[in-house]
Amino acid sequence: MTRLIVRRLCEAVPVLFVIVTLVFFMVRLAPGGPFDTERKVSPEVLANLQAYYGLDQPLHVQYVRYLGQLLRGDLGPSFKNAGYSVNELIGLGIPVSLELGLYALIIALIIGITSGVIAALNQNTAHDYAPMVLSMAGICIPNFVIGPVLALIFSLWLGWLPVAGWEGPASKVLPSVTLGVAYAAYVSRLTRGGMLEVLSQDFIRTARAKGMSEARMVLRHALKGGLQPVISFLGPAAAGLLSGAFVVETIFQIPGLGRLFIQSAFNRDYTMIMGTVLFYAALILLFNLVVDVVQSRIDPRLRER
């Protein structure tokens, strides 16, 4: 297990290096700059701003300097948020984004696993078709459609929940459901497929022949193998929840890192774009590593391999 963790951490270094390199040159070669949206300033003031942030230097010089800052853990100052560094802004936004992602993941797992198990135990019946049809609908409908519809119904029409913000439990319901419902659909289908495969195994038939109750058989024997596809999906799901939060945080005006990234992209805030992309990439690699470790602990075959 230690060799697995060390190897994955070593593999992450070149991946992050490639990401940093690509994003650095892509954002600087794109049209526009961080000071184009400011009010009209004189060429002298613009030149002073570019000199202050080092934007007047050749690209390769800026690149080498940025890599040096990264090695010291410094993501640089934000061009559009005066007085704040990228490290400080990420520190302010990431707890909100992680909280939103956690709630959405809990909703996805509860709804998805429950409906998937019910569908597998009632194959080719109404209890199978109904959740699978809803799952397909959840996969097909994007969250930028689900979010406004939920806000329209539960906030504007019924008045049960706030339409925006991130203060108090009530304001967190709609964003969490919006972000989690699509992944609940994926989890449901993966759970159904995994459970159907396990339920056809000989040891399940033996357990039933010995008179073991259906609930005990599912909880003690079937779920452990049936949830393997779901565990494998958790790494990409965590990545999707983080990236999906960009849209959800913008719709519901949540002060998280995703909304901050959208604003920095519109404002051409180079350092903020670089910092958020790099942070998300490192976080996703960490999630994938955790999933691999959990899978190895659950499945002895993977551990031996």
Check residues 210 and 96 and name the one with the higher pLDDT. 96
Name the token pair of 26.
Answer: 């892509």
How high is the pLDDT of residue 40?
67
How high is the pLDDT of residue 153?
92
The closest of 149, 179, 160, 153 to 249, measured between CA atoms, is 179
Average pLDDT, the chain: 83
Element holding 31 (H helix, E strand): none
In a domain? residue 199: yes
In a domain? residue 16: no
In a domain? residue 4: no
Q: Is the pLDDT of residue 49 over 80?
A: no
How high is the pLDDT of residue 52?
80
* Domains held by the chain: number: 1
The CB-based long-range contact list for 130-138 (8 Å cut-off, 24+ gap) reads 131/188, 132/188, 132/189, 132/192, 134/185, 135/184, 135/185, 135/186, 135/188, 135/189, 136/185, 137/185, 138/181, 138/182, 138/184, 138/185
If you search the block for the tokens 């790494």, which residue do you land on? Answer: 235
In a domain? residue 146: yes
Check residues 251 and 227 and name the one with the higher pLDDT. 251
In a domain? residue 12: no
Q: Are 229 and 155 in contact (CB under 8 A)?
A: no
pLDDT above 90 covers a percentage of the chain that reads 8
How does pLDDT run across 21-42, given as a tens digit for each residue? 999 998 888 777 777 665 666 7
How does pLDDT run across 1-24, given as a tens digit for each residue? 777 788 888 888 899 999 999 999
Name the token pair of 172.
Answer: 């967190």
Confidence (pTM): 0.80
Name the token pair of 239.
Answer: 């990545």
In a domain? residue 8: no
Burial of 142 per CB tally in 10 Å (0-12, 13-18, 19+):
exposed
SS3 77: strand
In a domain? residue 248: yes
How does pLDDT run across 150-202, given as a tens digit for each residue? 999 998 898 888 888 888 888 899 999 998 888 888 898 888 888 888 888 77
In a domain? residue 162: yes
Q: Are 248 and 258 in contact (CB under 8 A)?
A: yes
Distance of CA 88 to the CA centre of its chain: 21
SS3 212: coil
CATH of the domain at 151: 1.10.3720.10
Domain that holds residue 129: 86-304
Q: Is the pLDDT of residue 208 over 80?
A: no
Q: Backbone phi, then psi, for 134, in 5-degree steps?
A: -65, -35
How high is the pLDDT of residue 305?
59
Q: What is the DSSP string of 116-178?
A: HHHHHHTTTSHHHHHHHHHHHHHHHS-HHHHHHHHHIIIIIIS--S-SS---SGGGGHHHHHH
Tell me the CA end-to-end span of the chain in Å, nearest whole number: 11
How does pLDDT run across 241-288, given as a tens digit for each residue? 776 778 888 889 888 888 888 888 888 888 898 988 888 888 888 887
